Chain A
């Protein structure tokens, strides 16, 4: 893209956003900042869910439509663990481990046998998500579950201008940043991460250079699924867990990775911020049309940059 065109697009989308921002701040400073912060914390949650999704997609070319189910199952198992062990941190660990184990089982037990048949894998994940949702409904019923995090997390923190803001949301934001950095470090600096990146670029070549590709696939799937389970507990604490959350977070991950670019973790972060902030602003300024905002972003990205903002043309 040439310099002039890039500036043209930047101004075309930047100016209205800038104008709306100035209007929002001038109109109601507090509402604007609270909405922005809410949007960022929602983005943090979306990033946690979508990063696993995009990681798995990038390497395995598997659109794991059971990702939302892993989120929900992780949340439920985390809740049970928290109930019996009495520790929220153990609940988080349990959610992560259970979802990672499920992911590992899926990869080894199902997807390994359909390698290269993306469409069939995707349909298998749809079938599994139906089954998982129904089993979860069977076991845990239709009630809404709440987590019991430590006292110091659930209070409120005083911030300038905004006033009192739930501490937990700030913790969530911090967690997402830490996880994002850890993921970056893992992918960029470790040996396994290097293998995963090589696999994203060229699977056949990675296999030819003597690396057990199935092992790399299994590790990636476990991490991606574990992140979904982790997000399940963490997000379930911020909001709540109930049937139907699986499709909600599946939609969020889909939109986030379509906007950000499939297979790119940085793209997932960018997409999550765009979608999360847009959704919260939509909710605050134009309720009942909140979902339309994230959809419009998706449509615009697809219309002008089909591979996603940070996606590469494969």
Chain B
């Protein structure tokens, strides 16, 4: 697959590519000189503090206060689940939005971490589960998930573009069938029940409120990590590889190494999400890593929008709300139909997801402002970070 094909596959016309990540890409590699490097970093931190606006504070306060004002069902089933799913989808957003690799195997990575928790830790199947201490199990699960993600990445970066989606889908399905057919390790169709979070510091983390805050902590950590990473030299090089791998390799960067590293980072995030997910559900079965969940993660990420790390969390909230309430309006059995239609509508009409609609709204508002005043308002924060790979060719 040539660069031209790749560009075509990712909808980059030469004009459309246009370095719309201009501001993000602008800082060169200044880490080589330590003094200048540390100076810019501290300035960078100051700048990032200055970037915190009223809306950030409002959202943070809202998510912190949220469990105190809603019933436990909303804390756990809506809040907790949305945060965990958002965290897993965040790994896909990082990989696809900033690395240009649409992997369907993120749920598989999360599932591998979850299975490791169930197999090495305690579960309702003592014949297989080893019952090791929870901290060791969690560390091993995250390490194992990251390793698996690296291997998947190493396999799939050998081909590019839409091939990635096929290969990761095949890998994920193969893992699903393996987990379903194998009884010695994965306990086959039943999987593992009663995989509960430990009681640490006298807190039962399975209770709605502690679990919500646990998930919130890791979701915030993941969000800030991705936010930091996309401005760090690695993230900027990764976006360069996404936009033009050939040019980056001419500049001395290794596209393959950056892509595999991106898989590893995304796998790390997904593994944390996987550990939280198995604790949230209290069980893991082949169904948790089946095709429908692999695709649900994609839906969550696309629904929110892949242009900003907040997208997957918005998508997850909408997804979980749909899952719990929209089906009451139609038919409990027809959830897949509803979510499929929503996904289709998003893909057909708003390829940037809900964030795209938000952007359009802001654009419209700023145009109205510009009409009333003479100078137009600029400075759309999201536009600067990434080119959405799912943006239609006609729009810019």
Contact = CB atoms under 8 A, between A and B. Distances in A.
A114 B348 CA distance: 9
Contact of B337 (A120, A123, A134, A251): A134
Contacts of B64: none
A158 interface: no
A255 B174 CA distance: 10
Interface in A163-212: none
A122 B393 contact: no
Given A131-B344, A303-B158, A119 B10 contact: yes
For this complex, into which size category does the number of interface residues on chain B fall?
35 or more
Contact of B167 (A114, A137, A302): A302
A161 interface: no
Interface string B323-345: 00000000001101101110110
B270 interface: no
Nearest to B4: A314
Contact of A117 (B11, B181, B184): B11
A24 interface: no
A65 B169 contact: yes
Contacts of A119: 9-11, 102, 161-162, 165, 389-390
Contact of B343 (A130, A251, A255): A130
Contacts of B348: 110, 124
A299 B158 CA distance: 11
Interface in B323-377: 333-334, 336-337, 339-341, 343-344, 347-348, 351
Contacts of A149: none
Contact of B183 (A65, A117, A126, A288): A288
A12 B147 CA distance: 28
Contacts of B333: 138
Contacts of A294: 174
A85 B5 CA distance: 48
A254 B169 contact: yes
Given A291-B174, A295-B174, A138 B155 contact: no
Interface string B45-73: 00000000000000000000000000000
Interface centre among A119, A133, A313 (most CB of B within 10 A): A119
A134 B167 contact: no
Contacts of B213: none
B282 interface: no
Contacts of B343: 123, 126-127, 130
A314 B390 contact: no
A205 to B, nearest CB: 14
B8 interface: yes
B99 to A, nearest CB: 13
Interface string B160-183: 011101110111011001100111
Contacts of B158: 302-303, 306
Contacts of A247: 173, 291
Interface centre among B177, B333, B347 (most CB of A within 10 A): B347
A303 B159 CA distance: 10
9 contacts: A61-B9, A117-B11, A130-B339, A130-B340, A254-B173, A257-B166, A289-B181, A291-B174, A314-B2
Among all A-B residue pairs, the 3 with the closest Cβ atoms: A130-B340, A127-B344, A131-B340
Given A130-B336, A134-B334, A254-B169, 7 more contacts: A119-B102, A123-B302, A130-B343, A134-B336, A289-B181, A292-B178, A302-B155
